[in-house]
Amino acid sequence: MMRIILLGAPGSGKGTHAEKLSKHFFIENVSTGKIIRDIIESKSELGKLVSDFVKNGELISDNIVCKIINEKLKSDKCKNGYVLDGFPRTLQQARKLEEFEVKVDAAILIEVSESIIIERLTGRVQCKECGNVYNVKLNPPKVVGICDTCGKNLIIRDDDNVPAIQNRLRIYQLQVAPIVDFYKNKNLLKVVYGKNNIEGTFTDILNVLE
Ligand code: AMP
């Protein structure tokens, strides 16, 4: 049983490492960003309500996202553990997890410099089908625009444009310090330095979890 929170700026590698941790420990990968994108895609009332926030790089309301995460974490899929990618994003959300009596074994902060982050996000393309992430400069697919794994088309996320990226980074910088302190005070915080070498960063993550 392993229950992990991943903290880090947009583009720090949370999604990539959440997927790897999920496979390594046989635990559920819970990405609030992915859940929210699926809700928007479904064109439901809730999807319409939140879509402009996401497109502009704003956070959606704590109430909505906390309700979503509570339902997800209580589901059967999460009973063997989970890795949270993109939650909590505010101190209020971190406190809510405690209220929901959600247990956490570690909160891992992936630190990456802002210049690397901007380079990664501006070239990011993603497979809609399997979620694989590429970068047109740093980690291109074998065939332009096509996923190596499943052969489907690659897309640019709606919020991977420069104004939305700047907004997301600004919001992250405003919100992250209190969350980091919250987990530091509980002796749950582990810090790793994200590199462009995915395997190297993943080894560091496994090491801090020991
Ligand atoms: P991500 O895929 O984690 O970068 O999330 C994409 C977008 O979904 C964010 O920019 C927010 O608009 C929304 N989102 C994801 N997680 C949260 C959260 N915990 N709280 C509020 N909004 C969120």
Q: What is the total residue count of the chain?
A: 210
- Catalytic one of 20, 96, 120, 168: 168
Query: Per residue in 140-183, pLDDT tens?
Result: 999 999 999 999 999 999 999 999 999 999 999 999 999 999 99
CB 105 within 8 A of CB 4: yes
Atom of ligand 1 nearest to the CA of 58: 12
Protein residue whose Cα sits closest to atom 14 of ligand 1: 33
Substitution site in 12, 59, 170 for ligand 1 pocket (most atoms within 8 Å of beta carbon): 59
pLDDT value for 3: 97
CATH architecture, range 2-112+189-209? 3-Layer(aba) Sandwich (3.40)
pLDDT in tens, 39-96: 999 999 999 999 999 999 999 999 999 999 999 999 999 999 999 999 999 999 999 9
Question: How far is it, in rounded angstroms, from Cα 169 to Cα 162?
Answer: 11
Summarize the chain as % helix, strand, coil (round to 5): 50, 20, 35
Q: Is the pLDDT of residue 131 over 80?
A: yes
Q: Are 107 and 183 in contact (CB under 8 A)?
A: yes
Closest ligand 1 atom number to CA of residue 31: 3
Mutate to test the pocket of ligand 1, among 14, 50, 60 (most ligand atoms within 8 A of CB): 60
Ligand 1 binding pocket includes 54 (Cβ within 6 Å): yes
Question: Taking a C-beta distance cutoff of 8 angstroms, is the pair 192, 109 a contact?
Answer: yes
- For residue 115, the model assigns a pLDDT of 87
Give the residue among 113, 85, 92 at the shortest CA–CA distance from 173.
113
| Per-residue tokens: 181 | 């302190």
Query: How many angstroms separate the alpha carbon of residue 31 from the centre of ligand 1?
Result: 9
pLDDT band for position 197 (50/70/90)? confident
Q: How far apart are CA 83 and CA 25, in angstroms?
A: 10
